[in-house]
Amino acid sequence: MSCVSALPVSAVAQQASDRASARPLWRAEEILALYELPFMDLVWRAQNVHRQHFDANAVQRSTLLSIKTGGCSEDCGYCSQSARYGAGLERERLLPVEEVLSAAKAAKEKGSSRFCMGAAWKTPKDGDLDQVLEMVRGVKALGMEACVTLGMLREGQAEKLKAAGLDYYNHNLDTDRAFYGQVIRSHTHEDRRETLARVGEAGIHICSGGIVGMGESRENRAAFLAELANLPTPPESVPINHLIPMPGTPLADTPPLDPFEFVRTIAAARIVMPEAHVRLSAGRESMSDELQALCFLAGANSIFYGAALLTSPNAEVSRDEALFARLGLKAV
């Protein structure tokens, strides 16, 4: 998707408001009914919706780099970067701008069209944000889309990111409001929504999704997708992460989710957010080629590309290239 920077922020916000008021709101019960369709019927419906809005054989590729790892003050139960858990991850300083831009250039050469930068902060300090703004400008100068995930934003910070040319801001809802407190207690679900509101009002594309397989119910997953789809500024990029149980975290021993339930989540996300890129995110490294193909059939059309995702492994580039060739997929 192209950046909307040619329009004034007020015009962008008005367009988002118009789209939100024009689209029907989804109820959790309606999405739960999608989950409960026969599997083949659900995937068929999702594929049809997908073809109305996208090339069914095109997949967008993004590369994610951790620009500041470890030492986060928050207590997200799935995250090895939290300073509260004994996950064995050492606190690191913010990477130098030159190192980040070198990684972005390498990602572009390997075929990524978007470069995403993540920092383990509750909220960025102004001095650190200035360095991130320089990174964003550098990524844009390479001809790539730029995305960052920096935690919760304070007043005025989204506008600075927009002025630097940022295309996407990632801030996941993670799960639905009812289950949220079982995973995170150091901040609220509403805190996350407030940051998403600031991003949308600044005219930055919203990237927001969540994690499935944390012990939540199907009802929780349906409610989570309803909350995403009904955001005042709907997300244009929706990462769906499969929990990677990280040693030392409270969710380390969580049983794995049924793979077909994961595909159902992809399909439901495609149906309720038909114009969004639905991204296969964390957990893809352990997925079979066949499971990934089912996810693409169900409407996933974006992946994280590269051997690492922040602090967890990802599918190797050579494996992705081979899979794309087997399925006849083209990278965009």
Kindly report, residue by residue over 55-65, the tens digit of the pLDDT: 999 999 889 89
Rounded-to-integer distance, Cα 225 and Cα 175, Å:
8
**Is position 147 annotated as part of the catalytic site?**
yes
**Is position 79 annotated as part of the catalytic site?**
yes
| Residue keyed to tokens 């003050």 | 73
pLDDT at residue 121, as a whole number: 86
What would the pLDDT profile of 149-166 be if each residue is shown by its tens digit? 999 999 999 999 999 999
Catalytic, out of 45, 61, 114, 147: 147
pLDDT at residue 88, as a whole number: 58
Catalytic, out of 116, 221, 264, 270: 116
Catalytic, out of 45, 61, 79, 198: 79
Q: What is the torsion angle, in degrees rounded to the nearest 10, for the CA atoms of residue 276, residue 101, residue 304 and residue 269? A: -20
Catalytic, out of 207, 221, 284, 295: 207
pLDDT at residue 307, as a whole number: 56
Asked whether residue 10 carries a pLDDT value surpassing 50, the answer given is no
Predicted TM-score (pTM) of the model is 0.88
What residue ranges in the chain does DSSP mark as E strands? 58-68, 114-119, 145-149, 168-170, 205-207, 210-212, 237-242, 277-280, 302-304, 308-309, 312-313, 330-331
Task: Judge whether 88 and 120 are in contact, CB under 8 Å.
Answer: no
pLDDT at residue 75, as a whole number: 78
Asked whether residue 17 carries a pLDDT value surpassing 90, the answer given is no
**Is position 207 annotated as part of the catalytic site?**
yes
Catalytic, out of 270, 279, 284, 295: 279
What would the pLDDT profile of 57-114 be if each residue is shown by its tens digit? 999 988 989 898 876 778 788 887 776 666 556 677 899 999 999 999 999 998 888 9
Catalytic, out of 45, 61, 72, 270: 72
